[in-house]
Chain A
């Protein structure tokens, strides 16, 4: 266990260092000049921070949702939050909106995510609480609806709008700068704080509502708090850089393999691993064929899926 924690922290530190220093031009941190300073602090550092925030939000949200929905196949996008965000952001891009200046697209995405999360919450609500099956079905249903509307929008839009919207949807970290970071950090940190505060209750929720109650928690209250935390983190993540698939689903399983299933450890570990994985994916995406960049979301799936399938061959990664 201790070795596992140490290993994950070590990997994280190494990945951050590599993401800052490596790329199309390799930077020597002990011999910085004007140009390399700009590359390091104005281009790479914000990008790494955004990748860490997004990856952390998705990894942690995935672990939490797999718990509250009692479904190891759940991921943050299953609630439809990302589809709502994508639809709102793509509408903004295609229609050329600029109501919030440079923040227009992230703000639209965030609003889309929160509104969708709210609708899912309302549909999932019955008799004084949120019910896992209802949340899941409402999320899947809305996801289909918003995806269809998104396709419709894209099929009606101009080539340039289509290209920009598609890039955004795939997860584009290249536009990262410091200005939006405090907002992202606020929501991700807030969501993480709630999740860590309620991590014991999350463990109990996995055993069912009756045992949650028996262990001294109110299942509906706990599920609501955690749902809000996941909603905020996922919304912030999508607003920061679009949709990154795979991390929310598989990082929690990888973290479980090293550290076990206790959410007090699993949630932060999934956050750290999610952040690290997205940094690696982004590093690969921008280094492979410069100056062209491959979207990080595609890389996460290409490197993560085979590793996950390898883990699947070992015992106990999944419960079935």
Chain B
């Protein structure tokens, strides 16, 4: 088990509970979709997993050792976190930005900036300014930085947001390929249920608690989705047996 959260509690304001008694574990090579409505606590959970937020109580173990006991740089070699909004107010080039993935290391690992750029298909954009890239290219640039960082666990907060359907599919394919090639684990927050249907494992979140966790067929059911998103939906299947969500009411 790479990361284990046990009875983690957290709140932003004193006295107001937000994440309550959350337990979750991430195994090697797992690709987990964290699904929930806006404000359900997906980002907060990812930030807790990455050590960006500190839990009020409960334990977080990274490779069996308490997360907060790791030195910043050592932790950075094991976990990397990408926030939802990626921005650079200063025009770094793609190569400069991706190269930051090596910052936790004194002796750089085997992978080079060029390798990382090739993996995400941005070799030709190496000298472009990040500020000039499209949303999809910008996202891939940051993914390349994360890959260069070489962590075994990637925490991605809504990486599909602001991407059109083509880029969404491309990004998921890229992440799946990377997972197969390098056996990394990925936890990704998303709110598109149709995309979550194709994950191997999903965790459904509401109000900072887990409503269900497991294969989509078990978790993304009519009842649980209605509960999590507070909408009237129905799961339908196409002739190939693939599940989709259908919104029942008129707009």
Cα A67 to Cα B88 with chains together (Å): 10
Whether the Cβ atoms of B103 and A261 lie closer than 8 Å is no
Assuming the contacts A204-B103, A210-B47, asked whether A261 and B81 have C-beta atoms less than 8 A apart, the reply is no
**Shortest CB distance B3–A (Å):** 14
Tell which of A71, A208, A213, A256 touches B91, judged by Cβ atoms closer than 8 Å.
A256
Distance of A260 Cα from B97 Cα, bound (Å): 11
User: Across the interface, which residues of A come within 8 angstroms of B97, CB to CB?
Assistant: 207
**Which residues of A5-33 are within 8 A (CB) of B?**
none
Partner of A261, one of B47, B76, B92: B92
**Are the CB atoms of B50 and A214 closer together than 8 Å?**
yes
A264 CB, nearest partner CB in chain B, Å: 10
B116 within 8 A of A: no
Residue of A208, A211, A218 near B72 (CB, 8 A) is: A218
**What is the total number of residues of chain B having a CB less than 8 Å from a CB of chain A?**
34
A39-B205 Cα distance, complex, nearest whole Å: 76
Q: Which residues of B in the span 1-57 have a Cβ within 8 Å of any Cβ on A?
A: 47, 50-52
Decide yes or no: A215 and B100 within 8 Å by CB, A210-B52, A319-B131 being known contacts: yes
Knowing A210-B47, A211-B83, A213-B50 touch, does A319 contact B90 (C-beta < 8 A)? yes
- Does B222 make an interface contact (CB < 8 A)? no
Establish whether residues A200 and B103, one from each chain, have CB atoms under 8 Å apart when the complex forms. Answer: yes
Asked if B223 is an interface residue, CB under 8 A from chain A, the answer is no
Render A193-230 as a binary contact track against B, CB cut-off 8 A, 1 for contact: 00000001001101110110111111000000000000
Chief secondary structure at chain B's binding surface: mixed
Are A207 and B104 in contact, with the CB atoms below 8 A? no
A316 contacts B51, C-beta separation under 8 Å: no
Q: Does B132 contact A (CB under 8 A)?
A: yes
Instruction: Provide the bound-state CA to CA distance between A252 and B91, in Å.
Output: 12
Known A215-B100, A215-B149: A210·B83 in contact at CB below 8 Å: yes
Instruction: Assess whether A213 is in contact with B52, with CB atoms less than 8 Å apart.
Output: yes
Q: Whole-angstrom distance between the alpha carbons of A45 and B96 in the complex?
A: 38
Q: B91, A214: Cβ atoms under 8 Å?
A: no
Asked if B73 and A216 make an inter-chain contact with CB atoms under 8 angstroms apart, the answer reads: yes
Given contacts A203-B100, A262-B96, A316-B129, contact A214 B89 (CB under 8 A): no
B100 lies within 8 A of A204 (CB): yes
Q: Which residues of B contact A204 (CB under 8 A)?
A: 100, 103
Cβ-closest chain A residue relative to B80: A214
Verify B72–A213 contact, CB threshold 8 A.
Answer: yes
Residues of A within 8 A of B (CB): 66-67, 70-72, 200, 203-204, 206-208, 210-211, 213-218, 256, 260-262, 316, 318-320
In the assembled complex, 12 residue pairs joining A and B whose CB atoms fall closer than 8 Å, in A order, are A66-B90, A206-B88, A208-B85, A210-B83, A213-B50, A213-B72, A215-B76, A216-B74, A218-B72, A261-B93, A319-B88, A320-B131
